[in-house]
Amino acid sequence: MNTKKLFPLLIGALVIWAALTYVGSDEGRLDADQGTHFAIADTARVTRIRIADARGRTASLERTPDQPLGLWKLNDTHWARKDATDLLLKTFKRISVRQPVTSSAKEGVLKMMASAGKRVDIYLDGSSTPHKTWFIGTPTQSHTGTHMLLELPGMGRAEEPYVTHLEGFTGFLSTRFFTEENEWRYTGIFESSTTEIASITAIPLDDAGAAATLTWDESGDRVVALQNGHTLDLPQSLLRDQWLKFRKVHVETWNSHLSPAGQDSLRNSPRAWTLQVAYKDGRNVELDLHWKPSIMEEYDDEGRLMDQDGSRMYAVHQDECALVQTFVFNPLLDFWRSLPKTLQPTPAS
């Protein structure tokens, strides 16, 4: 081979070898530092997670093996959102270290962790001692990494903070570790298989339509709609479709953004709707809906100025206030909105 052609190839090979050697040695050096071992290989062993912020707020999450929906207990009181706990477990498993924090930035990063960071204690197998503790700081300037510090039992807190990330994910991780209880709370109101529902009732109190109850006939083969004791003449496909919509109904958030006085006022204000679902296990779940005043000019499909917020309504469930999206609830309510105040019962056969 011509030496003039061979020389550039040799130079290129040397460059690649040098780069691979550097990367490999750097990765090996990082892996040898126990302060980089943030990941949890087997997240099925995680039984408790405690998140605390610099303002003194905490969220304690505990795995409940027998919970039928796979929900974790939140602060020993409520159920936690499954999507949020699943995201934490995924983060525990997939987190990796990108690089050490530079010496020039180290002091500032540690000060920020102390003043505004979050502490995450991760417990395995029911132990009362954390298996690992993460101290979570601010994102990097590029918002593609997160400053973190690790503490291990018996070894203490690491001296060096690192920039962490998830492979294949662009962004930072600190927003996954929130402490506000209402943001953590499970949002499901009506949730079950269709066979567990005994009846569904909706009552429009300040809206178009009419009240009616959906249930099964005596044979258990047909869904029927009852109004004042009479069976309404409605297509079976329409009734079954409406029944299916109540398999999974959630509020948007338990953070109503109302003051305590505002929540009291809402509870005592006129209702727009009442929804009631009875289950075969004896549970009766009720949700009251209230109009939410508009915070900006909104117009309906006919160009008329609306008095209510077109995107959200307030909800009250067991005296607790929440926000719901009309995008979710309008498809539920439209069935009853379409019913005239007086319907003809099904003719006797």
Residue with the two structure tokens 């498993």: 93
**126 three-state secondary structure:** coil
Mean pLDDT in residue range 111-124: 95
Please provide the average confidence, as pLDDT, over all residues in the chain: 89
Reference 314, options 330, 328, 325, 327; nearest CA is 325
C-alpha R_g of the chain: 28
DSSP code string of 38-86: ---S-GGGEEEEEEEETTS-EEEEE--TT-TT-PPEETTTEEBPHHHHH
Tokens of 119: 């502490």
95: nearest Cα among 171, 196, 25: 171
Domain boundaries, the chain: 34-184, 188-337
Through-space distance between the first and last CA atoms of the chain, rounded to whole angstroms = 98
pLDDT digits (tens, 9 = 90+) for 154-176: 889 999 999 999 988 889 999 99
29: left (phi over 0), alpha (psi -120 to 50) or beta: alpha
| pLDDT above 70 (res 27) | no
Write down the residue that tokens 């044979």 correspond to. 219
Mean pLDDT of 250-278: 96
pLDDT of residue 93: 97
Let me know if 325 is exposed, middle or buried by CB neighbors in 10 A (0-12, 13-18, 19+).
Answer: middle
pLDDT of residue 35: 82
pLDDT at position 25: 47
Q: Are 313 and 324 in contact (CB under 8 A)?
A: yes
Does the pTM of the predicted model rise above 0.85?
A: no
CA-closest candidate to residue 251, choices 190, 196, 332, 336: 190
Task: State mean pLDDT over 224-239.
Answer: 94
Helix 236-244 with 326-337: angle, nearest 10 deg: 150
